[in-house]
Amino acid sequence: MFLDRSQFPDHQWADWRFHMTNLIRSRDALSRWVRLTPAEEDAIDAVNGTYLWMATPYYASLMDKYDDACPIRRQTIPHLDEMRRPVTSHVDPVGDMLNLKTRRIVHKYPNRVVMLVSDTCPVYCRHCTRKFHTTDVSGTYYKDGDQKGYEADFDYIRRNSMIDDVLLTGGDPLTLTDNKLEHIVSELRKIPHVNIIRIGSRYPVFLPQRITPEFCALLEKYHPVWLSTHFNHPVEVTEEAAEACDRLLRHGIPVQNQTVLLKGINDDAEVMRQLFKKLVGIRVRPYYLYHCDNVTGVSHFATSVETGAAIMESLTGFETGFSVPTYVLTTKIGKIPIQRSYFESVDGWPYVRNYKHEVEDAVPYISPTIPT
């Protein structure tokens, strides 16, 4: 008999510390939750010493006990393809290290920075953009010899008055204690030109119990604070996840979602439709649909751009506008929107096209050079 949610007392299951104390880190521990296939067992052994893996009991409880095609299993359990090294892949395809200014500050855009406050997560996504930083046991972006405190990071932001938006990410910032998070957020709020503070976290997905009333009240003191999370499949939108998002929202913290397009998990129009409907139903806005980054050890999740564009085409016009995210490709030069254009030119004459492929003359809306 496998473990499941029903075998734990409610008070224990509701305590995020219980889950963090009982993280699943070994093949034997995971086999108490699901029937591992030989391929999964081989992959767990193969990545040992290269890539970390881990799961919370909560997230393991969402796994199908017998089907290795389960979207939760595929995001959590290592795959043998992770050990492939395609020549076109890179440990840092989005250019974080190229733009690393301090131990933690990545400054790619003029007015906003990323602050890498952790290299640890409660579950290590197999498709992680920062797989080298967070799961390669010998790798991290942090420079050797840099001070371990945050003062150099805060000082960089203070000295660059154009920075008005700071994203805390990692790893997952919520792996830190509330006290440490409050120290970081409160110091940022003291900097006059910092307007928006954002937190990127999958805890609403991996361990929603971590989103406590106390944590939400902490953030409420430092508005405007936004939280970006990362639901990839409708199965992840549970009652507990909905309650976590509701707690954030009731404390005035907007929640938006960034989905990654993943082969065999959500590269299907109906799966995406159901995911975004569920998110809107819990008042979480679908913000980005990321094309899977060309990360070393992640290529088996990659789809074609055409697949993503076709999914977007199936949603745009058929679903409420704010439930349809922007499809983007993250590169060293920034995020590039890649959905198909609804403005077209035929023989030099402009037209607009709708979701049903009906067209209308666009001349009244622009000032083109009209052919004579």
> How far apart are the C-alpha atoms of 115 and 134, rounded to whole Å?
14
User: Per-residue b/e over 170-192, b at no fewer than 16 CB within 10 Å?
Assistant: bbbbbbbeeeebbebbebbbebe
Nearest to 282 by CA among 240, 315, 318, 326: 240
Q: Which residues does 85 contact at the CB level (< 8 Å), separation at least 6?
A: 296, 297
> How far apart are the C-alpha atoms of 144 and 9, rounded to whole Å?
44
Relative orientation angle of helices 213-220 and 178-189, to the nearest 10 degrees = 10
Q: Which residues pair with 290 in a beta bridge?
A: 260, 328
CA-CA-CA-CA dihedral for 156, 92, 229, 203, to nearest 10: -90
Question: At 46, is the secondary structure helix, strand, or coil?
Answer: helix
> How far apart are the C-alpha atoms of 141 and 95, rounded to whole Å?
11
Question: At 200, is the secondary structure helix, strand, or coil?
Answer: strand
Q: What is the largest CA-CA distance in the chain?
A: 78
Q: Which residues pair with 343 in a beta bridge?
A: 352
Q: Which residues does 101 contact at the CB level (< 8 Å), separation at least 6?
A: 107, 113, 156
The answer to whether 70 is a known ligand-binding residue is no
Nearest to 305 by CA among 339, 269, 350, 335: 339
The answer to whether 245 is a known ligand-binding residue is no
Q: Are 255 and 248 in contact (CB under 8 A)?
A: yes
The answer to whether 128 is a known ligand-binding residue is yes
Q: Binding site for [4Fe-4S] cluster, residues?
A: 121, 125, 128
Residues marked as binding?
121, 125, 128
